[in-house]
Amino acid sequence: MALKLKVTLIRSGINRPFDQKDTIRGLGLTRMYKSVVLNDTASIRGMIRKVSHLVKVEAAPQE
């Protein structure tokens, strides 16, 4: 089974550069404290690294 990551937006994207806002939207985060479960891929890890100061990442429970 592939590892899954639970990503939660904990800081706002207001007054952030457009590339960070686009990355937040690309991760599927639309509002504060909303969580999404994503596959652990290299592209997702890169997006998370770009906005690591705005999100909280934890391992999602395996189903």
The residue ranges of every structural domain in the chain are 4-59
pLDDT tens over the chain, length 63 residues: 679 999 999 999 999 999 999 999 999 999 999 999 999 999 999 999 999 999 999 999 877
Rg of the chain over all Cα atoms, to the nearest angstrom: 11
> Cα(46)–Cα(33) distance, rounded to whole angstroms?
21
Superfamily classification of domain 4-59:
Ribosomal protein L30/L7 (3.30.1390.20)
> Cα(31)–Cα(19) distance, rounded to whole angstroms?
17
Which pTM does this prediction carry?
Answer: 0.90
Of 3, 7, 54, nearest to 35 by C-alpha is 7
- Which residue do the tokens 């391992």 mark? 59
Angle between the N-to-C axes of helices 42-50 and 18-26, in degrees from 0 to 180, rounded to the nearest 10: 140
